[in-house]
Structure 1
């Protein structure tokens, strides 16, 4: 299980409250956020930008194609 700092937990909590009130928007498209997973991702990104302890983003591994 991943451990987050208290600052990160508070940031995610604030963002979730914004989403529930209908005041959370995406960055470039400025669309209203309705998905809780997206709200959590926004909260973690903001906490990461502030220098809080947040684990690295997961990366998908690219499968190597076999050449014949």
Structure 2
């Protein structure tokens, strides 16, 4: 199983919270995110940018 850092888990939690409040928007289109899987992906992407320990993306 892949291991995620605490920082990565926090980022995903924040993204999920924003999605539930209706404030999370996608980066490319700027539309509101309603899919939980998309919120997780956004959280992991932000964590990656900040240098958190996140497993590589599947290609």
Shorter-chain TM-score bucket reads over 0.9
2:36 aligned partner = 36
What is the CA RMSD across the aligned residues, in angstroms?
A: 0.5
Unaligned ranges ≥5, structure 1: 60-68
Question: How many angstroms does 1:28 deviate by?
Answer: 2.1
Aligned residues: 59
The structure whose Rg is larger is: 1
Q: 1:5-44, aligned counterparts within 5 Å?
A: 5-44=5-44
2:49 aligned partner = 49
Q: Whose helix proportion is higher, 1 or 2?
A: 2
- The structure, 1 or 2, with the larger RCO (C-alpha pairs under 8 Å, 6+ apart) is 2
Question: How many angstroms does 1:2 deviate by?
Answer: 1.1
Unaligned ranges ≥5, structure 2: none
Q: Give the TM-score normalised by structure 1.
A: 0.84
